Structure 1
């Protein structure tokens, strides 16, 4: 075969390699969707959980952006009402963190479950991966409430085959020194610990997103 006949083949292979490299280099766009715990209540924007997690992931070599779609005071009903327009097209994955305000207000866990289920279903329909950040009912709500509320997150993770971080405030909830004066929201040090503990789950989630799982 003459050299001129091989040129189209070489050109095609080169284009395939180039396009593959571009695809691998594409920045992964994530959204942190939640309430004040995600929004960074009373913290500087750079200290909010999405910004700190993005920084930690970039230091690990991940090319990611994490938009902050946290709204202080939001319940799962509020999240459901805004999920479609708060998560833009092109988003590859969502860290879904809602439910704390439902528990604080004593909203029926069955309603919380229904709202979270609907949000996950909508995101999945759009081809957007979900990392579910779990929550636990406050002790003052009693054992019956906790028995109905706490299983919501592992149940949904199993139903939809989601990545799950069992308790978003792990390591912070009972430590006064890691919270603001209100005794509820994490301070900067608290966010740092949350990111540290959340990071391995986030890395696994992003790796799965990159593979298209």
Structure 2
């Protein structure tokens, strides 16, 4: 995520643990694609994030938003998933562009997935700032009556125990404080599996994205259906 590598988070996880996106499903392009005309039927999901959401290094049919839309369609949910991912983005960047993203949509999303913070960690940004930015993002979405699914990030041990403890606590704390749902770790099952990463060893390949979608998908589906819970405890998060 920093410099030439928008998401070195995956590499950091690998190193740390080695030592100790077809009709009717639609994946809309960058937010604003649906700004004019009649809103399409079905659900609209906004995915606000960084390179993981943007689909860095992947074809248009292989990124997170396309794969999530297809996954939902296969389970009877007609959903347009809007790609509001920007490679290299931090929580500060997401916070600054959120109102513009929302104002550019043809209608308010039925759900917003917030998947930001990994770049903050890579840049060793003070966790208090990351927490404040994410809290502001959640508050903006809630002010517009948009349900929020917060996708957590985690700091590897090589960031040091104090930083890791402060950073990792951000997501469950905010989910509980603001009454939003939490998916504990966006990269669960992918971050350190080389079979699920691109040749750069940093970003998920199509199979890796599929694993991410399989993980977070049940919670997205449950929220769109208005269910109070999901079967898989690992995706249940918090209310």
TM over 0.5: yes
State the partner residue of 1:103: 121
2:212 equivalent to 1:194: yes
State the partner residue of 1:56: 71
CA RMSD of aligned residues (A): 1.6
Q: Quote how far apart the aligned CAs of 1:184 are.
A: 2.0
Deviations 1:87-142 (A, max 9, x none): 23422211100000000110011110000000000010011111110000123211
Runs of 4+ residues over 3 Å off in structure 1: none
Higher helix fraction: Structure 1 or Structure 2? 1
Mapped to 1, the partners of 2:45 and 2:221 lie a distance apart of: 12
Query: 5+ residue gaps in structure 2?
Result: 1-39, 228-238
Contact 2:46–2:109 (Cα < 8 Å) also in 1: yes
- After superposition, where does 1:84-163 map in structure 2 within 5 Å? 84-87=99-102, 88=105, 89-163=107-181
Deviations 1:12-68 (A, max 9, x none): xxxxxxxxxxxxx95111111100011010101211111101100011001211010
State the partner residue of 2:20: none
User: TM-score, structure 2 length as denominator?
Assistant: 0.75
Aligned length: 186
Contact 1:103–1:138 (Cα < 8 Å) also in 2: no
- After superposition, where does 1:9-88 map in structure 2 within 5 Å? 26-87=41-102, 88=105
2:190 equivalent to 1:172: yes
Mapped to 1, the partners of 2:211 and 2:126 lie a distance apart of: 30
Contact 1:40–1:49 (Cα < 8 Å) also in 2: yes
Mapped to 1, the partners of 2:96 and 2:151 lie a distance apart of: 19
Mapped to 2, the partners of 1:103 and 1:182 lie a distance apart of: 20
Query: 5+ residue gaps in structure 1?
Result: 1-24
Deviates more, 1:178-187 or 1:54-63: 178-187
Deviates more, 1:141-150 or 1:181-190: 181-190
Q: Quote how far apart the aligned CAs of 1:205 are.
A: 1.4
Mapped to 1, the partners of 2:222 and 2:173 lie a distance apart of: 20
Structure 1 or 2, whichever has the larger Rg, is 1
Mapped to 2, the partners of 1:92 and 1:201 lie a distance apart of: 14
Mapped to 2, the partners of 1:53 and 1:95 lie a distance apart of: 11
Mapped to 1, the partners of 2:109 and 2:217 lie a distance apart of: 19
SS of the aligned residue for 1:30 comes to: strand
User: TM-score, structure 1 length as denominator?
Assistant: 0.84
